[in-house]
Structure 1
Amino acid sequence: MAAQTLNYLDAISHLPVGGTLILTDVSWEDYDQLLTDLGATSALKITYDRGRLEVMSPSQKHERFKEIIARIVYLIADEMDIPIESLGSTTYKQEWLARGVEPDACFYVQNAAKIIGSESLDLRACPPPDIVVEIDIADDSKSKLSIYAEMGVPELWRYDEHQFFVYRLERNLYVEMPVSLSFPLLTTQLLAQLLEQSKTEGQSATLRSLREWIHHHKV
């Protein structure tokens, strides 16, 4: 293990829950080795952007929002009979771009069938996720938008604990939209309302109300 990587691991070991660590002038080789050393079971979120390394330790609040959003997607996909594949916080990294990122959640919708059983996520051969989700509590994911855009992710959801944003990729730039491209029933207003409801009524009650809403609105 390289001495520099050991230094990074030592700094990361002191990162508090909910904290963010930013390192600069990190080589691709050290980033790649760091991912290996931390292992696939690490709860840390790591972003690499051309030498800039960001490590975030998710808080309980962060994880709660991530889980309810994922459950909303599962529910509406099931109710609308839309096949999806969820790959959670899978690492997407491409050396030729010198960039790597780990979304809070990601979903294949339009391309779900193409990645069933896939063990490799080389974006030169496999499509990117149709939706990535970012929770902005400990960090600001706006800096990651250009990474997702360069990787060709068509839709991005962002929640900052108060507002819900949906972006669609147009000409390599993200444009804010009022409704999901993949799930047209899901507006930003509805998603924000559901997240607010989950804060006081819990996830199960929120999902029950969403199921009732879907039954009332779907054709």
Structure 2
Amino acid sequence: MIASVALKPKPIPSEQQYIVLQGVSWATYQNLVREIIHEQRARITYDQGQLEIMVPLPEHESYKRLFGRMIETTTEELGLEIRSFGSCTWGRADLQRGIEADESYYIQQEKSVRGRINLDLSTDPAPDLVIEIDITSSSLNRMGIYARLGVGEVWRFDGSQLRFYILQEGSYTEVEVSQVLPLLQRADVLAMIQKAQETGETTWIKAVREWIRTLI
């Protein structure tokens, strides 16, 4: 077991996008989250003693923001209040699991977390929707962690394919239409994301807004 937080992983070279450590305690994981966030941008996932540190590629960060802007524009046009937590680290000590989403939102349960900063998923609801950009595949079962934490819906994009998953009886079922934002169908969202490669981002988000208005 790694005993101390003096652990400071060296920058991960471009050809190696993640490292995995075994036998890491929950306390060490929590401290590493606080340490690494100040040293370099990294995604940290924890699953019962296994700890993965992944450095996202520029492609990953670009898609993350496209999906985030689409969701925020959609909820704005629908007049829905949301609470955005971005790439917040979510975890539960009692489950010995923790994960950093690419984007995370409270939409249906926004009122229950409005104005609050410190949430405890052992008593508070998990985010209604998270975005998972899977350009570099994780070595851990991230979907299993989301399910155990109780995240209601996950959008997972690998650079070409987009999948929507909703949580049903403790596991995820793939669907074609978002449950959190029923206006959005998987195929249409994917088509809009692909269009972002053909134009500037400002022009693209204007097109997204116009598209959403045709659906309302």
1:15 maps to what in 2? Answer: 12
Unaligned runs of 5+ in 1: none
Q: 2:96 aligns with which of 98, 104, 119?
A: 98
* CA distance in structure 1 between the partners assigned to 2:117 and 2:40 by the alignment: 19
Paired residue type of 1:211: R
* Partner deviation per Cα, 1:44-67 (whole Å, 9 max, x = no partner): 110000111111111111110000
* Partner deviation per Cα, 1:30-50 (whole Å, 9 max, x = no partner): 212212222468521100001
1:5 maps to what in 2? Answer: 5
* CA distance in structure 2 between the partners assigned to 1:28 and 1:159 by the alignment: 29
User: How many residues are treated as equivalent by the alignment?
Assistant: 214
* Partner deviation per Cα, 1:104-156 (whole Å, 9 max, x = no partner): 00000011111112121111222110001110112248811111111111101
SS at match of 2:94: helix
Runs of 4+ in 1 over 4 A off after TM superposition: none
2:116 maps to what in 1? Answer: 118
Q: Percent identity?
A: 33
2:145 maps to what in 1? Answer: 147
TM-score by length of 1: 0.91
TM-score by length of 2: 0.92
Unaligned runs of 5+ in 2: none
* CA distance in structure 1 between the partners assigned to 2:127 and 2:187 by the alignment: 23
Contact in 1 for aligned 2:47/2:140 (Cα 8 Å): no
Cα separation, partners in 2 of 1:139 and 1:98, compared to 1, 3 Å? same
Cα separation, partners in 2 of 1:164 and 1:202, compared to 1, 3 Å? farther
SS at match of 1:97: coil
From the two aligned structures, give the one with the greater helix fraction: 1
1:107 and 2:105 correspond: yes
* CA distance in structure 2 between the partners assigned to 1:133 and 1:150 by the alignment: 16
RMSD: 1.9
* CA distance in structure 2 between the partners assigned to 1:68 and 1:168 by the alignment: 21
Contact in 2 for aligned 1:16/1:57 (Cα 8 Å): no
Cα separation, partners in 2 of 1:217 and 1:182, compared to 1, 3 Å? same
Contact in 2 for aligned 1:164/1:188 (Cα 8 Å): yes
* CA distance in structure 1 between the partners assigned to 2:102 and 2:136 by the alignment: 12
